[in-house]
Amino acid sequence: MTTDKVGTLVPSVHQINHLELLTMSIDLNAELNAFRAMIVTLKDDIIRQRDAVSISSINTVMGSCVTAGVMERDAALQAMSSDEVLKSMLDSCDDTAAASVKVAQIMIACSKHAAEQTAKEAKRLIKDQFLQDISDCADKATTTANAIRDKAATIILEAEARANVISAARAKALRTYEEEWKYINSQSEAIMAYDARIKQMNIEIKELCKDNSLTGDALGLKVNTMSATQKVVTNQKLETLKEMAKHFGARGSELKKDSTVTLTVPNNMEAGKGKQFNESFRAFRKAHADRFGFTMAELDRIDSDYDPKTQSFYKPPSIPEDIGKINALSREAYTNDAATLYDEIYNKLPQSIKNRVKGTILYGFGANKLETEINHGDGPTLYFALMCMFRPCVGVDQTLKDLFYASYEAFMKESNPMKVVAALRSSLLEAAELHTEFE
C-alpha cells in the first residue's frame, strides 16, 4: 500500500488476467432448487417463531400457573382440624371472633403458600419452556439465514463465471473455502460433544463423593472407573485436534510440529516485501496448524481469492462485528485462534507498521474503495490488511511478461537449458500465482 498526497492508504492489488473461465463447476439448477428450499425452511422457521410468542401460546404454556400451589378443600379442612387451638374454639363456639381470626390466619397462610408456588412455577415455565423455545427458534432462523447467504454467494459466483466475469481460480477458492469450513465445523461439533461429556463426568464424580452410602472402597472403584473413562474421552478430543492440525499442516502425513519454523517480517516490508512475508507466514501457519486450525479456512481464502470488482483480496469477517458469520459450532475456537494469531503477527511488526494497522484502513480501488477496522485479537483481518498494504502486485504482471518474452536470448546463450529454467523458476511460480496471461 502507498500513501497519496492527503495521507490516504492506497493498497497494492493483483492485476489478474484470466487464463481460463469456469464453465460448469456446479449444477446450477440443483443449486437454485436448494436455494428455494432454504427460503421455504426460513419462512417456516419464522412462522414457528411468531407462533411461539402468540397470546394463545403464552396462555398454553402458563396455564398450569393458575392452580399451582392452591390447596385442595380437604387439605384446608385437615389443616383447620389439626389446629388444637382452633378445634377447641370451634367446639365451644364461645369466642366466635377469636375463632374467625384464627381461621383467617390459616386461610392467609394458605393463600400465601399458593401465591409463592404460583410465582415459582411461572418463573420455571418461562425459563425452561417459553424462553428456551424462543431462543431455539431464533437460532434455527439464524442458521438457515446464514445458509441462504452462503448458497446465494455460490450461485452468484457460478453466474458470474458463466458470464465470463470471474476466473476459475476464484471459483475454486470459494469451493475450497466451503469444504474447509464444513470440515472445521464437523470437528468442532465432535470436540463440543467431548467437552460436554467431560463436564458431565466431572459433575457425576463430585456427586459420588457426596454419597455417604458408599464405602471407601466402593467410592474409590467408581471414581477410578469414571476417571479412566474421562481420560479416554479427553484423548479422543486431543486426537481430533491433532487430526485437524494434520489436515491443515502436513496434510496426509504424520503431524510433526516444527518449532524451528518462525514467522519472519522483512526489515524493508514497507518497500514492497509483502510477498516474502506472505511466504514466511504460509510456512509458519502450516508448521503450527495446531494453534491456528480454526482460522485456516479464512487464511487460505485470503491467499487465493482476489475480487476484481473491488481489486482487493478476500476480507475475512471482522471480530467482533461480523463474528456472527462464523458458525456457532466453531465461533469460540475461531475467536481464540484469531487472538493467538494476532499476537504472533502484531508482536513481530515494526512500530511504523503497527501505527498503520491501528484503527480504520482503506482497501480496494476507485469507486470500489472500502474501509475496515483492525481490532485487537483479530488475526485474520490483520493478515488481510498487511497483504493489501504490502503485497507487490501493481505492474508485476508486465514485468514478468517482459522477462519471459526476453528469455529466448538466455536459451540461445546457455548450452544447458535446465540452468535457464532453474533461473526462471521463481518468476514462473509468481506468474502462475498472479494468473498472468501470455500472448
Q: Minimal CA–CA distance to 386: which of 342, 418, 420, 430?
A: 342
Same domain, 358 and 370: yes
Mean pLDDT of 407-433: 66
What is the reported pLDDT for 7?
Answer: 35
- Domain range spanning residue 284? 2-19+260-394
| 137-171 per-position pLDDT tens digit | 777 887 887 788 777 777 776 666 555 555 667 77
Same domain, 283 and 352: yes
Let me know: does 299 contact 285? Beta carbons within 8 Å.
yes
Same domain, 111 and 181: no
Higher pLDDT among residues 58 and 189, named by residue = 189
Q: Judge whether 415 lies within some domain.
A: yes
CA distances to 35, 153, 171 from 24, in Å: 18, 16, 11
Same domain, 199 and 148: no
Q: Judge whether 254 lies within some domain.
A: no
Last residue of a domain, one of 162, 195, 230: 162
| 56-94 per-position pLDDT tens digit | 666 666 666 666 666 666 666 667 667 777 667 766 766
User: Which triple of cell numbers denotes residue 171?
Assistant: 471459483
145: left (phi over 0), alpha (psi -120 to 50) or beta: alpha
Q: Indicate if the pLDDT at residue 225 is higher than 80.
A: yes
Last residue of a domain, one of 188, 212, 244: 244
Let me know: does 86 contact 36? Beta carbons within 8 Å.
no
pTM of the predicted model, to two decimals? 0.57
* pLDDT tier at 232, thresholds 50, 70, 90: very high
| Burial of 296 per CB tally in 10 Å (0-12, 13-18, 19+) | buried
Q: How far apart are the C-alpha atoms of 136 and 252, rounded to whole Å?
A: 38
Higher pLDDT among residues 177 and 62, named by residue = 177
Q: Report, in angstroms and rounded to the nearest whole number, the Rg of the chain calculated over CA atoms.
A: 34
Same domain, 143 and 215: no
Same domain, 227 and 316: no
Q: Count up the domains in the chain and report the number.
A: 4
Mean pLDDT of 297-311: 76
Let me know: does 330 contact 281? Beta carbons within 8 Å.
no
Mean pLDDT of 92-106: 67
Q: Judge whether 439 lies within some domain.
A: no
Q: How far apart are the C-alpha atoms of 316 and 307, rounded to whole Å?
A: 13
Q: Judge whether 14 lies within some domain.
A: yes
Instruction: Lowest mean pLDDT of 140-154, 224-238, 371-385, name the range.
Output: 140-154
Q: How far apart are the C-alpha atoms of 323 and 369, rounded to whole Å?
A: 23
Last residue of a domain, one of 135, 162, 189: 162
What is the reported pLDDT for 1?
Answer: 39
- Tell me the percentage of the chain whose pLDDT exceeds 90: 18
Same domain, 287 and 354: yes
Same domain, 232 and 110: no
Same domain, 66 and 131: yes
